[in-house]
Amino acid sequence: MGAARLAELRWSRRNIARSAVVHDSSGGRTEGRRSRQTYPVMVAVHVVGILGTALWGDSHPRTGWLAMLLGVQPLRAWVLATLGERWNARGSVAANTEVATGGPYAYVRHPNYLVVGIELLALPMAFGLRRLAAGLLLANAVLVAIRIRDAERLLRALPGWTEHFARKKRFIPGLV
């Protein structure tokens, strides 16, 4: 998990650097103020989850939780493949971004946040860390609620986003 997160952060930085300047409100790339403020906290939540599990977790994983953790990885790959160079960990949106309406975005608005929530629950649970899992899930829920408001404000400015996503749920088709 740690290696995957580090690789994603590198890819995120590369994608942002290729597309535009992060804080350009004149048509380049924009990032919501609250997303910018919460980004270090989001990184810290992941670090605590990964290191906490490595340091305090049982040596014998629970196969059901481990299966859930591994089972959600194809959805993550689908999200990343669908977004390609548009994906980044900061919630930054280029003004000229083409709205993703294929892949998992044909069904929900924010499939990657669903994947992250499942990972933050399943990783510590797989190693017997219920309290850590609960804390991570709660912290992630608060952060995601804040970040989604910023992201959707920026995304609504893109042609076609509102039309495509107006009736789509955020995480689970037909439910949430």
Q: Tell me the per-residue pLDDT of 101-138, one tens digit each, with 9 for 90 and over.
A: 999 999 999 999 999 999 999 999 999 999 999 999 99
What tens digit of pLDDT does each residue of 8-51 get? 889 988 888 887 544 445 555 588 889 999 999 999 999 999 99
Look at residues 134, 128, 10, 111 and name the one whose alpha carbon lies nearest to residue 65.
128
For residues 160 and 7, give the distance between their C-alpha atoms in angstroms, rounded to a whole number. Answer: 31
Domains, the chain, in order of start with CATH, read 2-165 (1.20.120.1630)
For residues 62 and 76, give the distance between their C-alpha atoms in angstroms, rounded to a whole number. Answer: 22
Q: Is the dihedral of CA 163, 79, 37, 45 positive or negative?
A: positive
DSSP letters, 83-139, are HGGG--TT-EEETTPPPP-SGGGGTBS-HHHHHHHHHHHHHHHHTT-HHHHHHHHHH
Q: Name the DSSP letter for residue 57.
A: S
For residues 114 and 161, give the distance between their C-alpha atoms in angstroms, rounded to a whole number. Answer: 19
Report which secondary-structure segment, H or E, holds 48: helix 33-56
For residues 129 and 4, give the distance between their C-alpha atoms in angstroms, rounded to a whole number. Answer: 21
For residues 76 and 118, give the distance between their C-alpha atoms in angstroms, rounded to a whole number. Answer: 11
